[in-house]
Amino acid sequence: MIGGVDGHDAEQVKAAIEKAQANTAQPTLICCKTTIGFGSPNKEGTESCHGAPLGDDEIVATREKLGWSHGAFEIPDDIYAGWDGKEKGSKAESAWNDAFAAYETAYPELAAEFKRRVNGELPADFSDKADAIIADLQANPQNIASRKASQNALNAFGPLLPELLGGSADLAGSNLTIWEGSKGVEANDASGNYIYYGVREFGMSAMMNGIVLHGGFKAYGATFLMFMEYARNAVRMAALMKQPAIFVYTHDSIGLGEDGPTHQPVEQVVALRATPNLDNWRPCDQVESAVSWKSAIERTDGPTTLIFTRQGLAQQERTAQQVADIAKGGYVLKDCEGTPELILIGTGSEVQLTVEAAEKLTEQGKAVRVVSMPSTDVFDRQSADYRESVLPPSVVKRVAVEALSKDSWYKYVGFNGAIVGMDTFGESAPAGDLFKHFNITTDAVVEAALSL
């Protein structure tokens, strides 16, 4: 660390930088002391020059104090020349283009792969191969946690994507984000494809944004859903900048159990769903998990969160068309004959509750439709015709089920519908006990449906 530098003294700053450059063994932190509003005779060192213009008179006085005799937006020729890099940049660009042209001639396949990755294009056969993998998962059901289904998806998709660059904020073993082809990036070996970020959720997320902005990589990073709170601003910036970073969040509800309310997310998904240009997926089984990964990998105009469970989930039966419809964010998973009397909407681990409740209601003579909604954001972008085919406006009796805050579901069930979910923080207990304690059960869904 180099301290005691006057940040207003260009020579001191230059000397500190040169000293830092001479230290090749480790990074250097340069600490500069500055004064807010430096040069303003009447406002220097006060908060009044932070959030408002100096004003015309104070600008004139500041110019005089600093000895600056030039007008507004007037740059002296000698200063402009020192900063004008057009000629130097043009020569560098020309030299690069000549070198790359020679490289293309000598190594055409490597050059084509380089250009593909820099341009953000996926391998031409990725989508078809991913669809085949997803179809195979549907044909070979497993009842596993969606965090494990996520790791399985990485093992399947990873070999197809040399640009995949993963990581975790000190929770790799719990997030299950290390796949069979993962190799850690180390100080003396940068050839890896997995970064151990340490306990720094915001730093990880901000670095992912930088990696994606640089180009050439599909970057994903993971933590518990609860700890997205530490990274919220970086996630928001990814959405604002329309950068396709992939944020993996596991341990997604009160279902994580004994760690208690400090680790059990309740309101976080509401905030994520309210963030413009952010796609959020909360899949219900291994098939929806793989589809959510495919969607995140293929997205180019914004970030995606993938929200996975700690506890095991029952795989749902589907037709090939239903598998294809998962990519639309919401689809009819179970249906009745004719027009339904009632629609049950589930997401994530609660889909299996809606399916079980639908079976009980059907036995009572009710006409019930079950809608799985792994991504409300993607569903909302579908055509009006498709959305109405899933949620017909004429069917107003609707129940939404999610072991998280209820607030994001009112736009789907209306004020006259019912929501089975959380109104409080969680508690510390095994997951099964918690779902009973907070009345997020099959019987609770049936009761809510009958109340309509």
Q: Which residues are catalytic?
A: 201
Neighbours of 427 (CB within 10 A): 15
Lookup result for tokens 């900063």: 83
- Which pair of structure tokens corresponds to residue 381? 């972008």
CA–CA gap between residue 35 and residue 130 (Å, rounded): 56
- Rounded to whole angstroms, what are the CA distances from 123 to 129, 175, 255, 272, 298? 10, 27, 37, 30, 10
To which residue do tokens 């009345």 refer? 439
Contacts 24+ apart (CB under 8 A), 174-178: 174/147, 174/224, 174/250, 174/251, 175/147, 175/222, 175/223, 175/224, 175/248, 175/250, 176/147, 176/148, 176/150, 176/151, 176/250, 177/150, 177/151, 177/220, 177/221, 177/222, 177/248, 178/151
Q: Which of 35, 31, 28 is nearest to 12 (CA)?
A: 31
Residue 16 structure tokens? 């500190």
Separation of alpha carbons 426 and 188, rounded Å: 44
Alpha-carbon distance of 72 to 268, in angstroms, equals 47
Residue at token pair 């341009």: 119
Q: Are residues 306 and 378 in contact, defined by beta-carbon separation less than 8 angstroms?
A: no
